[in-house]
């Protein structure tokens, strides 16, 4: 049983930075993909960035150049470094884990089986 717990959210001004963390209690032992998603009020959950077990990453166009996904296997922790934050980045952020099948990390929620509870990010203008 895989459990994910996010932390690091908060309220910042436009242009500020935050670093989100996701602690993972266990893995299945097979190749996997982890990713960050976000969901704003009244909107669908959207993919932000993903990372394969071998370190290959993928990110949404809206965050490329501003957000960086990374992981520390020894600490069983996933990270999302968010810089140059904008009001439109305001959302509940979730980490997720799923099997690595083919290609780059997928940014569709349906590709992931395990989810954290979310951490709120608010960017004020």
The DSSP result for 29-59, as a single string, is SS-EEEEEEEE-TTS--EEEEEEETTS-EEE
Residues facing residue 51 across a β-bridge: 34, 57
Q: How confident is the model over 68-121, as pLDDT tens digits?
A: 999 998 888 999 999 999 999 999 999 999 987 788 999 999 999 999 999 999
Q: How confident is the model over 43-56, as pLDDT tens digits?
A: 999 999 999 988 99
Which pLDDT does position 21 carry in this prediction? 98
Which pLDDT does position 29 carry in this prediction? 56
Mean pLDDT of 23-47: 87
Distance between CA atoms of residues 114 and 22, nearest Å = 12
Which pLDDT does position 25 carry in this prediction? 85
Distance between CA atoms of residues 122 and 125, nearest Å = 10
Q: In the chain, what are the helix, strand and coil shares in percent, each to the nearest 5?
A: 5, 50, 45
Which pLDDT does position 28 carry in this prediction? 52
Mean pLDDT of 24-42: 84
Which pLDDT does position 45 carry in this prediction? 97
Residue 27 has pLDDT above 80, yes or no: no
CA atoms within 13 A on the CB side of 39: 12
- 88: CB partners within 8 A, 6+ apart: 62, 123
């Amino acid at each position: 049983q895989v459990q994910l717990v996010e932390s690091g959210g908060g309220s910042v001004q436009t242009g500020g930075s935050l670093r989100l963390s996701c602690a993972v209690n266990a893995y299945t032992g097979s190749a996997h993909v982890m990713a960050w998603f976000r969901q704003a009020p009244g909107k669908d959950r959207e993919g932000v960035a993903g990372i394969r077990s071998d370190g290959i990453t993928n990110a949404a166009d809206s965050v490329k150049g501003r957000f960086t996904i990374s992981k520390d296997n020894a600490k069983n922790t996933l990270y999302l470094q968010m810089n140059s934050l904008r009001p439109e980045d305001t959302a509940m952020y979730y980490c997720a884990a799923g099997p690595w099948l083919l290609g780059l990390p997928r940014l569709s929620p349906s590709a992931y089986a395990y989810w954290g509870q979310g951490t709120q990010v608010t960017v004020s203008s």
